[in-house]
Structure 1
Amino acid sequence: MYGSHKCPTAKGKLISQSDGSRGYTVKSCYDWLRDKKLQIDWHKAVWCNMALPKHSFIAWLISNRALQLKDKLARLQISQDDLCCLCQSAFETHQHLSEDCHFCKSLLCGASTWLSSDFTQRNILHVINRKRWSSVRKKLCTAAVLACWYTIWIQRNSARLEGIVTRPELVIQQIRRMIVCRFNECKPRVVSPKDRIWFC
């Protein structure tokens, strides 16, 4: 009912705005009805099928700046403490927690060493997507980064609520076990010998 009232208006508006070459289309009407949003380039990486769903969910919250971090709580005057729980050396923001924190860098460096890749660059998901790697390697590297972010969030909460932080070396071993198990569950039917050598 809603669409039937609004579509004639959309049709007239779209036809008047067009240059006459394209005219009215159902797609243009649909886009006008739903207020088409800005296209994003990280959704395929965040919802990678090689990553665990809980890792993808935390990565989605990080990408949307939706985690309840100390900088947001300080802006809302809920808390005056806005230092990172893991390093105590900078404001706790999404940028800091996912890229700049010493604990985060330790995990990403450990994953980089294990997978023979560089995860220390900014906008790492975008960088991985642009690499000329095989699909399997891209998915495994993405899954490793998302696992690091999820583990950072867990360790951050542990540090804040219990005052306990696990050493990065032990966390890297846990992440490696998670990724190997996930790969064995979701690996494609055909994996090239080159990818097998690289991953093993």
Structure 2
Amino acid sequence: MSWNWKAICKIKDEFKNGYVNGNWLAEKGGYTIRSGYDWIRYKEHKVGWAKLLWKSWAIPKHKFLSWLILRNAINVKAKLYKHGVCQDEICYLCNTGQETIEHVFQSCEYASLVMVGVCDSLHIPIPTVNGIIWIGRRQWSSLKKRICLAAVMAVYYAVWQPLNQARMDGILLTPSVLVQQIQQILKSRMLSCKVVANVDVNWMSTIM
């Protein structure tokens, strides 16, 4: 029996648990494809950062990478080294620390310079923990949070993309170039904002 057929039979057996006396438990109005999908799929606990991530003004590809980071699903060298894919686990960006997710996006000197440059331009403190969760805990206006979340996610993407590119061609952009690129992205985002509160007007006037 093939693996595919075994998987189909397993799902069929799991669906049997959704019926009692011929009635579908997951949907009062009867079985639907959506209720069947919700029944069979793996359900994880809701996380507090989900709304911060998906409702921010970040570019979609930045959100997706940040989602992978928060789920510890990035293939950094420390992971690859354990599977024998690479010869060492030294961070390619700074050539000193172990290339873990925490190191690359929080403590790496190269990434820190990018984060510091972006945060200085926004006149906000440097996040001491995961930037997304840290911003979510600030007592800032909704607009300021969305812009700063977009900035942090742009930093993550700006660091990760050249890291992978540098592994192939050996060319690594300077942190200052990345900061300038992120500033342009943020300015284009802010130009479409409908600012209401005076505190937001005053803050944005200092960074535009």
Larger displacement relative to structure 2 (190-199 or 134-143): 190-199
Which of residues 108, 113, 124 is equivalent to 1:106? 113
User: SS of 1:112's equivalent?
Assistant: helix
Larger displacement relative to structure 2 (114-123 or 189-198): 189-198
Question: What is the RMSD of the two structures over their aligned residues, measured on CA atoms?
Answer: 2.7
Task: Kindly provide the CA deviation profile for residues 10-64 of structure 1, in whole angstroms up to 9, marking residues without a partner as x.
Answer: xxxxxxxxxxxxxx9979xx88765532221222222234101111111111112
TM norm structure 2? 0.77
* Alpha carbons 2:56, 2:147 under 8 Å: kept: no
Partner of 2:84: 77
* Alpha carbons 1:48, 1:56 under 8 Å: kept: no
* Alpha carbons 1:136, 1:191 under 8 Å: kept: no
- The residue identity in structure 1 corresponding to 2:143 is V
Q: Structure 2: how far apart are the matches of 1:48 and 1:119?
A: 22
- The residue identity in structure 2 corresponding to 1:95 is E
Partner of 1:199: 204
* Alpha carbons 2:81, 2:89 under 8 Å: kept: yes
Report the CA distance shift for 1:172/1:32 in structure 2 as closer, same or farther (over 3 A): same
| Higher helix content, 1 or 2 | 1
Partner of 1:58: 65
* Alpha carbons 2:135, 2:149 under 8 Å: kept: yes
Name the structure, 1 or 2, with higher relative contact order (CA <8 Å, separation 6+). Answer: 1
Task: Work out the percentage of aligned pairs sharing the same amino acid.
Answer: 33
Q: Structure 2: how far apart are the matches of 1:97 and 1:118?
A: 19
1:172 to 2:179 alignment: yes
Q: How many residues align?
A: 184
Q: Structure 2: how far apart are the matches of 1:124 and 1:4?
A: 41
Which of residues 28, 46, 51 is equivalent to 1:39? 46
Gaps of 5+ in 1: 10-23
Structure 1 runs of 4+ with >4 Å offset? 24-27, 30-35
Q: Structure 2: how far apart are the matches of 1:126 and 1:78?
A: 32
Larger displacement relative to structure 2 (155-164 or 105-114): 155-164
Which of residues 97, 100, 118 is equivalent to 1:93? 100
User: SS of 1:50's equivalent?
Assistant: coil
TM norm structure 1? 0.80
User: SS of 2:17's equivalent?
Assistant: helix
Report the CA distance shift for 1:35/1:141 in structure 2 as closer, same or farther (over 3 A): same
